[in-house]
Amino acid sequence: MDLILHVWRQASPAEKGRFVRYEAKDVSEHASFLEMLDIVNERLTERAEEPIAFEHDCREGICGSCGIVINGYAHGPQHGAATCQLHMRHFSDGDEIWIEPWRAKAFPVIKDLVVDRSAFDRIMQVGGFIAARTGSAPDANAIPVPKDKADLAMDAAACIGCGACVAACPNASAMLFVSAKVCHLGLLPQGQPERRERVLRMIGQMDAEGFGSCTNHAECQAACPKEISVDFIARLNRDLFGAALTAV
């Protein structure tokens, strides 16, 4: 298939960016979206032009580094999949595709489609862990965990920290990401000692990083490649309310 690409090019954080038009010819429908970008970059390199900078690593929908906005959709039109899992069969011959980076104050553009997502790292550093001493590895099932709680914790832990929730939210809120990280620890017995302190620290850091507030648009859930539910945001809000009461 032959495609027209409009790709956001920005040489550095200090420079202004713009969309640049490229032609992608003879692209296999079986190629992944990132493989298509690889092909375009090979042809740009052959012409001694600067290749398009974009992030990727595992290409298996696990690491979350591949996130870009495709035709206005975070990670593209395929539901429940990261950009690296999107294949060109979801497009048609002659399509025009607009490709741009995440758009958020807290995710400044580094170059082209690459953004700085270290704000997520700093949120995790203040509370996304368990510091309480747990001793040596316990015997299996030594600490009973109800199955419904275990299942919910696993659902929340599926978050890969890609930032699609931020990119899709009209307020650039990180509430889905933070709620997943807070809840997957707070639902388990080992996470209880720091449960209230954790939510206060992580929400405080989220606000300090410049993310917006949640106003229940639920676009985050729609864009999430792991289909994490906004129900976790409700759980976070309950934990936050309880922690704020006890902190007074």
Q: Which CATH topology does 3-110 take? A: Ubiquitin-like (UB roll) (3.10.20)
As to burial, measured by CB atoms within 10 angstroms (0-12 exposed, 13-18 middle, 19+ buried), residue 46 is exposed
- Structural domain spans, the chain: 3-110, 118-247
The predicted pLDDT at position 234 comes to 96
- Strand runs (DSSP E) across the chain, as ranges? 3-9, 18-24, 69-70, 73-74, 96-100, 109-111, 114-115
Indicate if the pLDDT at residue 132 is higher than 80.
Answer: no
Confidence band (pLDDT; 50, 70, 90) for 134?
low
Please tell me the distance from the alpha carbon of residue 54 to that of residue 76, in angstroms, as a whole number. 15
- Architecture of the CATH domain 118-247: Orthogonal Bundle (1.10)
Do domains 3-110 and 118-247 share one topology? The answer is no
- The gap between the terminal CA atoms of the chain, to the nearest Å, is 62
pLDDT tens-place string over residues 147-190: 999 999 999 999 999 999 999 999 999 999 999 999 999 999 88
Residue 145's CB is within 10 A of a number of other CB atoms, namely 14
The predicted pLDDT at position 144 comes to 84
Average pLDDT taken over every residue of the chain? 94
pLDDT tens-place string over residues 53-101: 999 999 999 999 999 999 999 999 999 999 999 999 999 999 999 999 9
114 touches 8 (CB < 8 A): no
Residue type, 9: R
> What's the whole-model pTM score?
0.93
